Structure 1
Amino acid sequence: MSFAERYGPWAVIAGASEGTGREFARQIAAQGLNCILIARREGPLKELAEQIRAESGVECVTASVDLAKPDAAEQIAAVAGDREVGLYVNNAGADPNGKRFLDNDLQNWVDLAQRNVMTTLKTAYLFAGPMRARGRGGVLLVNSGACYGGSSFMATYSASKAFDLCFAEGLWAELRNHGVDVLSLVLGQTDTPAYRTLLAEKGLPLPTNWASPVEVAKVGLAQLPHGPVYNWGQTNDVAGYAPNSPDQRRARVLMIEQHSRSTFGDD
């Protein structure tokens, strides 16, 4: 199947207003999918929608939704309505705090966990169910290398991204035989406005070898059929900065699945 046949006719891109989310939306639209663009800031979304319509001629819907709110997933589902969503990209989830756990307001960490964990879980549930019933679709969760271990200044962020990693692996295992692709796209340093702002606030120089949003979107969409994990800048048989390689993680997921059948049975 073509990209549009496999993942169309509609895609939802959460966190679409700038950076990698913006590029995901543009490249998905260029392959013929109509787009539902979700982010907190309405102005950049409307500008992007106009650009996409001019570039690709597809339909484009926008909605201002704060993904840290408890009802964010329900708001997104309401915007999607009865449209047939064949691709869900969760691009939101950066950490704008840059502080130690106890040196920040607790609500900031609660909001981060809500956005990265509960909203991710609920939106995946709402969109992946119809995909499984149709026998096709894709769920792409943009992740961070922080998922592989906790560290100072990133206790909540690392924990939330570790959830996203394991969640994507489990979802991939459950949906892989139903025609639905799932990928945790694990990124390193990436040139986004949010990251530039954080570096500026800390008085730090810009990296020289960070990834571009254009390449992130291009590679991420190409890797989607080859889940459940892709580590940016590395081949799937290399561990690199991770404890083990994507190929090893896939083998582990399949091994656990095999053993679990004695308890839970086959699908």
Structure 2
Amino acid sequence: VIKINMPQPLSFPVKINVGGDAVQGFLPDQDWNEEVEYGVQDGHTNKLAEGETITGTDTPDIYRSQRLNIVKYKVRVPNGIYNVTLMMAEHSFDEVEKRVFDIYVEDNLVAKNFDIIKLSEKQAAFNINVNRIQVSDEILDLHFAAGKEHPCLNGLIVEKVNAKVGELNRNPKKNYLLIQNYPNPFNSSTVVRYFLEESGFVKLNIYDIQGRKVQTLVDEFKETGSYSQKFEATDLATGLYFSRLQVRDINKTIKLTLMK
């Protein structure tokens, strides 16, 4: 009798603590092989020392451990469309141009010359949200290409999207990422960051809760790359505001909380 080990299908959303153990509803990291539902190829684990903290998140344990020098991460999923969250924190460097790498999801370049410190701070949680990625071979593939030092990944969330009829055969749109401002909440100023996979005319505006535009941060053509834009709110009242990024036919919005 030949015994065949069939991996148990994953339930969504799939949450993986890359480089760490099972915690806070996240699955433990593991190596990839043909008998598992998910896993990493190459790299080694790295964890912060006891007492060192991670800021900007309510799940700090996920960001305390990571895979360094990671090359690929694979997750078995039914064919379809998915939203993917890449969770990262820089453990070692506090200067830009120290760790730089490219990230591909299903062969789509979602971050070129990615440098966490350009967009965040050392030991601070940072996420990249990649939406509407199509999988057609029942394996979601993430690929990390080193530029300077080793690529890193701390956590991964995969959410299934209910696609409309005929949508599966469309090519995914280019990724334009509007990243949560830091700090948030903020007192008088904060920094809004965004990433462009392709060049284009960019509009980045701030709106109040009534939908009125209160400030224009960007209104010009931008080349491919990562950008940071300071938002000065000295003359604005305490409250909830929205930052809206418009590039081509894509709109992204985040909430900003001003507290004085």
TM-score normalized with structure 2 length: 0.30
- Comparing both structures, which one devotes a greater share of its residues to strand? 2
Larger Rg: 2
- Comparing both structures, which one devotes a greater share of its residues to helix? 1
